[in-house]
């Protein structure tokens, strides 16, 4: 049998159900993996004692025949989710010492389903970044290495700690949040399945806000089935989040029929970018062939406003962030750097508490909302957003899902691109449209580059039709047969 | 139209008001925290009100209902689609770093309020809009020598901002506007209108101009918390602006603060007002979409409002506009009056109005009692009116009976019985008293006979004295003339 910490969610669930091992044993294996993987810096806070308590409680529930959908499964939680009694930092100095007296709805749902918390994962500060290099708690390393290249690589971001934890086989699954692609992009470059559900599918209550109209929680796992299982536990209407949608949560696992015959898959020509690496272009063609071989029909479609998505995103997201982050003022919680006057206290606290990338986005956001610039930037970006949604709505009149690459490149070295924020923002180019339009998107590991780094393909689905999206993703997963392991696997 | 006399001629004052009225609701606009006045600091604060990370606002539907009711009461347009936006600025008592308010798309549009002016005339003042917003917390500067404490109990409490058009022309109209608005809000049950508790506050916009000219530059005086202060602020600000212009200066568009101790206004520091609020739609909230049928149902359920009630009181009870206006100003007073008139037989409405606005108001004011807690309730006052009407007691005795009722809480009839205050309308008894007085005072009889009519009053006084006020005055007069012939 595989080592316990290397099991998928589904395999661990089945092993637990059969009594092959206990939740305590499974959790112990993950705790040991977490300790051995510390050089990756994937966790900000490890909670081994709590994990073992939760695992023992899970074993007790199972003994009474009360097993939930994730009973006994250890999970890593992105440090953007507030966890009652456990330090929650959002990767920022400004939340120093902040221990929430409340539990986010999504994590509460996971614990109700029986899951066990291993710890809180590292992330780009306030989820702003695509490489996990903006955290106050340091960079996260990708467990993957390029062939013949020993440089440490980025795990993607902002859910980089979660991605590294799952890729390195510390945990079978982790939560992430995706505002512009920051579940799907790290999944792509760490060889994982990463899914952003439809906006409104998972409650945002208790998730530290970055850009409220774009933020959505989702799972990072090593397989599509695991992704389906986790989403089933995370999702659901929450009256505490006015933007959460009150519709039933389907059985996502049951949607994985492997049958895509008759489905029409859109291939958007606008995603064929100048200068895109041939490997990604080739992978996309493979994806088309795999789906056609499985009986789907692929259709060339046009999403004409795609090229405006990234600029619109980098107006809307900072605008909302500039307002969402105003509450970190040193008055009530977290860091306070004293000053002689109120304004000096604000300036010192926010000046020291926020890193450069957060400051950059707060300033951009403040600028685009300012009198005199509002219409030219913020309002125009909102209109672009409407057009992007219309592109998708029209496309989905003819197709059932859309296939694109997930990211324009594989993992790059820590230190690369760091002096060029615009180049860094380009990482989100294929993922941002789904956030702007609220649609679900999933990245599936599909191939390795020539030097052995993972690449993903993205499936975008109709709003609240995660089932079809998952079904297509499952077929891609099977066809790709991705089974490569990263250079670093915990415990090996 | 009232004018201000300056050194160089007459000036017209132009005033618009922004009233912040706290909505009567169990919980805050976007959280479930309580809203009671006077609670210990920071005891009515939810995680949302304290802007903890990851907390989200959820709209309290009661607040929407109250705003729509108020809009209907102001004959205003109800916007079936409205949007909450964020007004961004930093202040320690604003935990989110933004106030959730309505900006481009408020829930209520244009309406009107009819003012009842002291000279009996009426004037219509336009309502520009009404929108919902969160209140901020309170900074406590007196708890520590060098630091400021924050009380978040008010943070997130629902306010309606009711903006008038610049239709008022004097401090008197400002007073009438605030009184009328408060009356309407209380009738609707949407705001207590209690300015001492801060549940109604106003910002006063004032400008001056030569009659017939375009609007002048206005100033905004913030957070005025009584009707008297609002009038003082207008008067001071108008005089200050006229003096500034006449002295060759100009009025600067600025935010000012009212100083209740001096009755004057002063400019806020420039920095306090140099805000770019960067409004944008709050992405945590969906647009508010109202059902037209629901609005129509609320409209049907509205109580009779002061203007309609006043018209009815004049028509049905034959009251003067002034009396009707006084009686309808408070819903409870109007209800008391109607109930006092309605009971028993055919009570005289005018007499009832006089008793309510006279003896009753006098006693309430003297004792500082609300009409709802009056020891003389409407039924009891009605009982007193009946005794006057059927001649059991005289009007003069009735005053004493009222005072005794106030003291004891007993019925008028019981007091009259107990104290033997029944009017003497027995002609035999009155004649006997008259005969005695005439016999005892030949001098006065002589004076009358020689043409001094005034002596008649003296005789009446003697009889009333002899009867301890109980003799029926009309009968005394009639019999006296007969006897003195």
B75 and B165 inside one domain:
yes
Residue A327 near chain B (CB below 8 Å): yes
In a domain, B204, yes or no: yes
Measured in angstroms, the CA of A60 and the nearest CA of chain B are apart by 32
B462 and B411 inside one domain:
no
B88, A326: Cβ pair inside 8 Å?
yes
Q: Are A31 and A49 in contact (CB under 8 A)?
A: no
pLDDT at A275: 79
Q: Report the residue of A83, A90, A327 to disrupt the B interface, i.e. the one with the largest count of B CBs within 10 Å.
A: A327
A98, B53: Cβ pair inside 8 Å?
yes
Across B118-136, b (16+ Cβ under 10 Å) vs e yields eeeeeeebebbbbbbbbbb
Q: Which residue of A has its CA nearest to B93?
A: A331
pLDDT at A1: 58
B410 and B467 inside one domain:
no
**Least CB–CB distance from A242: residue in B51, B59, B98:** B59
**Least CB–CB distance from B284: residue in A239, A242, A322:** A242
In a domain, B363, yes or no: yes
B51 and B104 inside one domain:
yes
In a domain, B118, yes or no: yes
Residue B57 near chain A (CB below 8 Å): yes
Which CATH number belongs to the domain containing residue B449 in this structure? 1.10.10.410
Residue A137 near chain B (CB below 8 Å): no
**Least CB–CB distance from B54: residue in A206, A211, A369:** A206
Nearest to B166 by CA among B207, B199, B198: B207
Measured in angstroms, the CA of B50 and the nearest CA of chain A are apart by 8
Residue B95 near chain A (CB below 8 Å): yes
**Least CB–CB distance from A326: residue in B58, B59, B96:** B96
pTM reported for the whole predicted model: 0.91
| Final residue before a domain boundary, out of B392, B419, B446 | B419
In a domain, B463, yes or no: yes
Q: Which residue of A has its CA nearest to B277?
A: A370
B7 and B69 inside one domain:
yes
pLDDT-flagged residues of chain A (< 70): 1, 418
**Least CB–CB distance from A370: residue in B57, B276, B284:** B276
A-B Cβ pairs (cutoff 8 Å, strict): 97
> What is the domain count for chain B?
3
Strands (E), B279-350: 280-281, 288-289
B88 and B159 inside one domain:
yes
Residue B286 near chain A (CB below 8 Å): yes
B45 and B129 inside one domain:
yes
Measured in angstroms, the CA of A239 and the nearest CA of chain B are apart by 8
| Final residue before a domain boundary, out of B276, B298, B320 | B298
Measured in angstroms, the CA of A332 and the nearest CA of chain B are apart by 8
Residue B140 near chain A (CB below 8 Å): no
B275 and B355 inside one domain:
no
In a domain, B370, yes or no: yes
**Least CB–CB distance from B95: residue in A104, A209, A327:** A327
Write out the residue range of the structural domain in which residue B457 sits: 427-484
**Least CB–CB distance from B278: residue in A102, A239, A366:** A366
pLDDT at B196: 84
B239 and B144 inside one domain:
yes
B389 and B469 inside one domain:
no
B387 and B461 inside one domain:
no
Q: Which residues of B touch A374 (CB under 8 A)?
A: 278, 280
A104, B54: Cβ pair inside 8 Å?
yes
Q: Report the residue of B47, B48, B56 to disrupt the A interface, i.e. the one with the largest count of A CBs within 10 Å.
A: B56
pLDDT at B1: 52
In a domain, B179, yes or no: yes
The DSSP 8-state label assigned to residue B247 in this structure reads T
In a domain, B124, yes or no: yes
| Final residue before a domain boundary, out of B390, B419, B448 | B419
Q: What is the pLDDT along chain B (485 residues), one digit of tens a residue?
A: 578 888 889 999 999 999 999 999 999 999 999 888 888 999 999 999 999 999 999 999 999 999 999 999 999 999 999 999 999 999 999 999 999 999 999 999 999 999 988 887 889 999 999 999 999 999 998 889 888 899 999 999 999 999 999 999 999 999 999 999 999 999 999 999 998 888 999 999 999 999 989 999 999 999 899 999 999 999 999 999 999 999 999 999 989 999 988 889 998 865 555 679 999 999 999 999 999 999 999 999 999 999 999 999 999 999 998 899 999 999 999 999 999 998 766 788 999 999 999 999 999 999 999 999 999 999 999 999 988 888 788 778 889 899 999 999 899 888 888 877 777 777 788 888 888 888 888 888 888 888 888 888 888 888 888 887 788 888 888 888 888 77
Task: Dump pLDDT digits (tens) for A257-290.
Answer: 999 999 999 999 999 887 788 999 999 999 999 9
B52, A102: Cβ pair inside 8 Å?
yes
In a domain, B326, yes or no: no
B133 and B176 inside one domain:
yes
């Amino acid at each position: 049998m595989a080592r316990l910490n290397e099991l998928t969610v589904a395999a661990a669930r089945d092993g637990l159900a059969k009594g092959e091992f206990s939740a305590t044993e499974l959790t112990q294996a993950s705790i040991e993996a977490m300790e051995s993987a510390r050089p990756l810096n994937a966790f900000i806070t490890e909670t081994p004692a709590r994990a073992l308590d939760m695992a023992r409680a899970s074993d007790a529930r199972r003994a009474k025949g009360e097993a939930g959908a994730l009973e006994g499964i250890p999970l890593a939680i992105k440090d953007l989710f507030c966890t009652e009694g456990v330090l929650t930092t959002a990767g920022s100095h400004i939340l120093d010492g902040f221990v929430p007296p409340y539990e986010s709805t999504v994590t509460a749902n996971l614990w109700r389903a029986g899951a066990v918390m291993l710890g809180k994962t590292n992330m780009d500060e306030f989820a702003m970044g695509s490489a996990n290099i903006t955290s106050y708690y340091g960079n996260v390393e990708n467990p993957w290495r390029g062939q013949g290249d020993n440089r440490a690589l980025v795990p993607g971001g902002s859910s980089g700690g979660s991605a590294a934890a799952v890729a390195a086989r510390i945990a079978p699954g982790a939560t992430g949040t995706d505002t512009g692609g920051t579940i799907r992009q790290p999944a792509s470059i760490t060889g994982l399945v990463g899914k952003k559900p439809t906006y409104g599918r998972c409650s945002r209550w208790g998730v530290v806000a970055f850009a409220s109209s774009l933020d959505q929680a989702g799972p990072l796992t090593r397989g599509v089935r695991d992704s389906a299982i986790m989403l089933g536990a995370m999702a659901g209407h929450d009256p505490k989040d006015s933007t959460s949608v009150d519709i039933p949560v389907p059985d996502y696992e049951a949607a994985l029929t492997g049958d895509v015959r008759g489905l029409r898959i859109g291939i958007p020509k606008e995603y064929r970018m100048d200068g895109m690496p041939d490997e990604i272009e080739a992978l996309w063609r493979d994806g088309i062939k795999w789906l056609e071989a499985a009986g789907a029909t692929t259709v060339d479609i046009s999403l004409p406003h795609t090229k405006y998505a990234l600029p619109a995103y980098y107006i809307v997201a900072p605008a909302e962030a500039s307002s969402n982050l105003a509450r970190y003022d040193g008055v009530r919680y977290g860091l306070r750097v004293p000053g002689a006057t109120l304004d000096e206290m604000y300036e010192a606290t926010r000046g020291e508490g926020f890193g450069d990338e957060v400051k950059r986005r707060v300033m951009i956001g403040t600028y685009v909302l300012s009198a005199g610039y509002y219409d030219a930037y913020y309002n125009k970006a909102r209109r672009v957003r409407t057009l992007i949604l219309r592109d998708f709505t029209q496309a989905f009149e003819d197709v059932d899902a859309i296939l694109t690459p997930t990211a324009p490149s594989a993992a790059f070295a820590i230190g690369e691109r760091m002096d060029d924020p615009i180049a860094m923002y380009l990482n989100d180019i294929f993922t941002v449209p789904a956030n702007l339009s609220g649609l679900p998107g999933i990245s599936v590991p599909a191939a390795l580059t020539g030097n052995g780094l993972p690449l993903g393909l993205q499936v975008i689905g109709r709003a609240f039709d995660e089932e079809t999206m998952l079904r297509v993703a499952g077929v891609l997963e099977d066809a790709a047969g991705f089974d490569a392991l990263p250079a670093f696997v915990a415990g090996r | 139209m009232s004018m201000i006399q300056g050194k160089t001629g007459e000036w017209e004052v132009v005033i618009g008001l922004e009233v912040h009225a706290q909505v009567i609701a169990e919980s805050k606009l976007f959280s479930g925290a309580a809203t009671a006045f006077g609670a210990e600091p920071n005891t009515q604060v939810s995680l949302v009100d304290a802007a903890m990370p990851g907390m989200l606002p959820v709209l309290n539907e009661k607040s929407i209902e109250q705003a729509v009711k108020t809009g209907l009461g102001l004959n205003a347009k109800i916007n079936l689609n409205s949007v909450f936006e964020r007004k961004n600025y930093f202040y320690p008592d604003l935990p989110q770093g933004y106030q959730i308010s309505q900006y481009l798309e408020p829930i209520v549009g244009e309406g009107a309020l009819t003012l009842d002016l002291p000279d009996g005339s009426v004037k219509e003042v336009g309502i520009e809009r009404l929108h919902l917003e969160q209140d901020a917390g309170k900074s406590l500067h007196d708890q520590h020598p060098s630091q400021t404490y924050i009380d978040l109990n008010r943070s997130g409490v629902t306010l309606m901002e009711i903006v008038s058009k610049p239709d008022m022309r004097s401090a008197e109209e400002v007073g009438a506007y605030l009184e009328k608005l408060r009356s309407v809000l209380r009738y609707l049950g949407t705001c207590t209108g209690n300015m001492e508790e801060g549940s109604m506050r106003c910002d006063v916009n004032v400008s001056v101009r030569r009659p017939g000219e375009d609007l002048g530059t206005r100033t905004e005086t913030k957070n005025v918390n009584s009707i008297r202060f609002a009038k003082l602020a207008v008067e001071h600000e108008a005089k200050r602006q006229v003096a500034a212009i006449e002295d060759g200066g100009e009025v600067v568009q600025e935010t000012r603060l009212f100083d209740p101790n001096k009755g004057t206004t002063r400019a806020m520091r420039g920095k306090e007002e140099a805000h770019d609020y960067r409004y944008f739609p709050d992405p945590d909230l969906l647009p508010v979409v109202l059902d037209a049928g629901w609005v129509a149902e609320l409209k049907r359920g509205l109580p009779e409002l002061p203007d309609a009630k006043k018209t009815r009181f004049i028509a049905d009870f034959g009251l003067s506009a002034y009396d009707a206006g006084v009686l309808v100003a408070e819903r409870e007073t109007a209800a008391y009056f109607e109930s006092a008139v309605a009971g028993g037989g055919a009570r005289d409405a005018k007499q009832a109005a006089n008793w309510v606005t006279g003896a009753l108001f006098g006693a309430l004011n003297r004792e500082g009692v609300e009409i709802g807690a009056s020891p003389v309730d409407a039924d009891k006052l009605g009982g007193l009116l009946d005794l006057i009407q059927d001649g059991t007691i005289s009007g003069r005795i009735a005053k004493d009976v009222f005072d005794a009722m106030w003291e004891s809480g007993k019925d008028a009839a019981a007091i009259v019985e107990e104290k033997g205050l029944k009017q003497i309308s027995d002609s035999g008894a009155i004649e006997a008293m008259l005969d005695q007085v005439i016999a005892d005072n030949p001098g006065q009889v002589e004076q009358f006979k020689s043409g001094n009519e005034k002596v008649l009053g003296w005789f009446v006084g003697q009889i009333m004295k002899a009867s301890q006020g109980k003799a029926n005055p009309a009968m005394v007069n009639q019999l006296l003339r007969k006897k003195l012939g």
